[in-house]
Amino acid sequence: MKKNIAYCLLICTAFSCKDAERPTKSKDDTPTALADEESYNIVSKRGREDLIDNLYAEIIAKDLALKKVDDNIREIENGRSDSLKKFNSYDEKNQDYFVSANAHVKEIKDSVLRKTLTALIAKNMEAYKARTLQYKKLARSIETKTSSLNDLSLALKISRTLPLIEKYQKENLPSNKSILNLSYKIDQTIKLADTLYKEKIQ
């Protein structure tokens, strides 16, 4: 009985102890996105979807050169579809015409007339391709450049935010005391439960 009381007192003491040591607090210059979970949620509600975007938004707010790049990228994204809209509509109408013309010409019974018109349509198609060649080359060039710009934008975000997360890792690693205490409590509870079980079956 005395043995059981001793074990109970030990467990009660272990569970009543509080951590004297707490995780290292964030430094004053810690980005808002890394400060705490609540701050991150507040920033996320503003439209940012992930931690890198949150961190990068804070960086460009203090860096005029990066902000200029970011503003330009947003302007390009917003204006790209508008810039190509007129030509795409123009090209679509021409392609629709050629599809329709070739379908109609097949309905002509007179083989000579059908052949003549097929040749006329083909000649116009070749002329149209030549006429729009530079436009299409330019459009493809814009797509290629946009892809390269997107890659650079992502590279900037990662390279500029990585030092922040490295600094956070070094300065905010929590103490392991609470985990050690939990492990100790589990060990002691196992011992007590095992003792009580064995006493019952003896």
Write out pLDDT tens, residues 93-149.
999 999 999 999 999 999 999 999 999 999 999 999 999 999 999 999 999 999 999
Which has the closest alpha carbon to 172: 29, 12, 20, 51? Answer: 29
pLDDT recorded at residue 45: 52
Short-list 168, 167, 163, 160, CA closest to 56: 160
Collapsed DSSP state (helix, strand, coil) of residue 20:
coil
* 20 vs 103: CA distance, rounded Å: 84
- Residue 27: C-alpha distances to residues 163, 170, 171, 174, 176 (Å): 15, 11, 8, 13, 19
Quickly tell me which residue has 């790049």 as its tokens: 69
pLDDT value at residue 193: 95
Closest to 164 (Cα-Cα) out of 41, 56, 48: 56
Assessment of whether the complete model's pTM goes beyond 0.75: no
User: Tokens 């018109």, residue?
Assistant: 117
Q: Which two tokens stand for residue 178?
A: 């609470």
In the numeric block, the tokens 């009660």 are attached to 12
pLDDT score recorded for residue 35: 82
CA angle 169, 35, 64 (to 5 degrees): 90
For the stretch 8-64, pLDDT in tens is: 444 444 444 444 444 444 455 788 888 866 545 544 555 446 899 999 999 999 999
- pLDDT of 38 reads 55
